Structure 1
Amino acid sequence: MTPISKEEFMVILERQQSSGLSIKDFCSNES
C-alpha cells in the first residue's frame, strides 16, 4: 500500500462510497 495524503484519501473514500463497494473490494480493484 503506497502512502497517500489525507486529501487523496478523502477523494478515494468518496469514490469508494459512490461505487458502493466495500473498502477491501474497492482497494483490490484499484491496485
Structure 2
Amino acid sequence: MGDITVKMLSQQLKELVKAKLVIRKDYQEFHQR
C-alpha cells in the first residue's frame, strides 16, 4: 500500500510541475506583448 501511495504522489508531483512550467511559459509570453 505504501508503495502505491508513493507512486501516486510522485505522479501528482510530476503533473504539478508540468502545469507550473506551462503556466510560467504562458505568463512570460503574456508579458512580452
After superposition, what is the alpha-carbon deviation per residue over 1:2-21, rounded to whole angstroms, capped at 9, x for unaligned?
Answer: xx700000000000000008
Aligned length: 18
Q: Structure 2: any 5+ residue segments left out of the alignment?
A: 22-33
Aligned-residue CA RMSD in angstroms? 2.3
State TM-score, norm by structure 2.
0.48
Query: Based on CA coordinates, which of the two structures has the bigger radius of gyration?
Result: 2
User: How far apart, in 1, do the equivalents of 2:9 and 2:16 lie?
Assistant: 10
Report SS of the residue matched to 2:10. helix
Identity %: 17
Q: How does 1:7-26 map to 2 (within 5 A)?
A: 7-20=7-20
State TM-score, norm by structure 1.
0.51
Where do 4+ consecutive residues of structure 1 move more than 4 Å?
Answer: none
